[in-house]
Structure 1
């Protein structure tokens, strides 16, 4: 088995996920996980597909033939998926430039590894101010969790961090 890691972007249009998933199915691929988003008129995402090694190149070729889809595809052996202990940090703060860089830098300096980041902004209901919200999955040694949390919270007075182990 091979795992295909597919990142893509396309002008958004109805049926795009159906087209991609049909190509995966036609080549006997198994859609493992994905993160798909509409952003400023584009549809973008990342998909992990498991497929028999003998069918992987045909699937790659078929994905590359989808009209209007720009993709980058990497092939990985299934054995490379290493389980890592992780925590989830839910962050909320007033939005500002550079907040992702600040948080990622602290995580790196505290010996953590970013596994997943899902972020968004929304308008605060009472003040109308833009809020930054993120759910960040981090692989980090258990003895570093408190230091990591303290370091992130020290970035700003308004930054709240909830930790799920």
Structure 2
């Protein structure tokens, strides 16, 4: 069994996910996990598919021939059981470089950023831009979690960090 990680980008239009799902199914693949989003008129995403080795070459060829999508694939072996993770919900006034500051602290405190979803919006009643993110981080030890949260809160007075232990 192989796992194929697929990233794609194309002009947004109806049917992109259906085309990908049909291609995966036709080549005996099993859609494992995905994240997709419309961004500035484009539709982008990443997904993981498991497929028996005998069908992987056909699936890879079929994916690369989908018209209108830029597709990149990587074949991987399935990972073993994951480390314990925490989820951080972050909110702050938006500013240039905030993602870099947050990712730098996570790395410096021994965390591994597993997933990051961020948005920007207006603060209610104030109109100022707010940065919001949900980060899933693999990290070991309660003391490391406390140090990580303290360091993140030290980035700026306005950064609020809520922790959910998975």
TM-score range, shorter chain: over 0.9
Counterpart of 2:161 in structure 1 is: 161
- Give the alignment's Cα RMSD to 1 decimal: 0.8
**Do structure 1's residue 87 and structure 2's residue 99 form an aligned pair?**
no
Counterpart of 1:14 in structure 2 is: 14
2-structure distance, mates of 1:157, 1:25: 50
Which secondary structure does the structure 2 equivalent of 1:106 belong to?
A: helix
Which secondary structure does the structure 2 equivalent of 1:133 belong to?
A: strand
Which secondary structure does the structure 1 equivalent of 2:145 belong to?
A: helix
Could you tell me how far 1:58 is from its partner in structure 2?
Answer: 0.3
Counterpart of 1:146 in structure 2 is: 146
1-structure distance, mates of 2:39, 2:88: 24
The runs of at least 4 aligned residues of structure 1 exceeding 3 Å deviation read none
1-structure distance, mates of 2:80, 2:10: 28
Could you tell me how far 1:81 is from its partner in structure 2?
Answer: 3.9
1-structure distance, mates of 2:4, 2:12: 23
TM-score w.r.t. length of structure 2: 0.97
Counterpart of 1:4 in structure 2 is: 4
Could you tell me how far 1:28 is from its partner in structure 2?
Answer: 1.1
2-structure distance, mates of 1:34, 1:81: 19
Which secondary structure does the structure 1 equivalent of 2:88 belong to?
A: strand
1-structure distance, mates of 2:93, 2:107: 22
Unaligned runs of 5+ in 1: none
Could you tell me how far 1:82 is from its partner in structure 2?
Answer: 3.8
TM-score w.r.t. length of structure 1: 0.97
Matches within 5 A, 1:106-117: 106-117=105-116
| Count of residue correspondences | 164
Could you tell me how far 1:77 is from its partner in structure 2?
Answer: 1.4
